[in-house]
């Protein structure tokens, strides 16, 4: 019995280190290679689902979003603020309305992406910057985000 618990804890520890490595190195790769999606919606969903259950995994997701903001020269804390707003304002009522887990995940990923990119466009407009270019790459990012969300 204790051997099974030891193996389970060891697997969880490996998973934590793997997720931490992903949170540190993947945002660097997305800033180098343009066709790697930033996965803001999936990580936002990961944070929302783990906010109540596992604080360590939620912290790794927050670390990922902060690292992505720094590496991609995006507005600092914007992605985290969007995820927290969705968690506080949208998630409780959406959880009651949408019974299907996959449907809820797709809805939250889509909502996080749309809200995030809309706020980036607003940020560009207000400060007359050119952070985000609306082309087919942006649609590709959203589609990949949704496909990964379906696999979860």
Task: Round to whole Å and give the CA distance between 61 and 67.
Answer: 10
pTM of the model: 0.87
Task: Round to whole Å and give the CA distance between 110 and 56.
Answer: 25
Q: Over the stretch 99-140, which tens digit does the pLDDT of each residue have? A: 988 999 999 999 999 999 999 889 888 888 777 777 788 888
Task: Round to whole Å and give the CA distance between 72 and 26.
Answer: 11
Res. 84: pLDDT tops 90: yes
pLDDT interval class at 35 (50, 70, 90): confident
């Amino acid at each position: 019995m204790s051997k099974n618990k030891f193996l389970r804890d060891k697997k969880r520890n490996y998973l934590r280190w793997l997720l931490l490595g992903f949170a540190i190195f993947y945002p660097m790769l997305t800033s180098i290679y343009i066709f790697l999606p930033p996965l803001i919606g999936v990580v936002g969903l990961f944070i929302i689902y783990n906010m109540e259950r596992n604080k360590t995994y939620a912290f790794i997701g927050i670390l990922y979003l902060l690292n992505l903001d720094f590496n991609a020269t995006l507005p600092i804390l914007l992605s985290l603020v969007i995820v927290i707003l969705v968690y506080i304002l949208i998630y409780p009522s959406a959880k009651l309305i949408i019974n299907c887990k996959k449907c809820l995940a797709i809805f939250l990923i889509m909502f996080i992406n749309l809200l995030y990119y809309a706020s980036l466009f607003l940020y560009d407009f207000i400060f007359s910057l050119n952070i985000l270019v609306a082309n087919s790459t942006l649609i590709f990012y959203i589609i990949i985000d949704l496909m990964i969300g379906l696999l979860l």
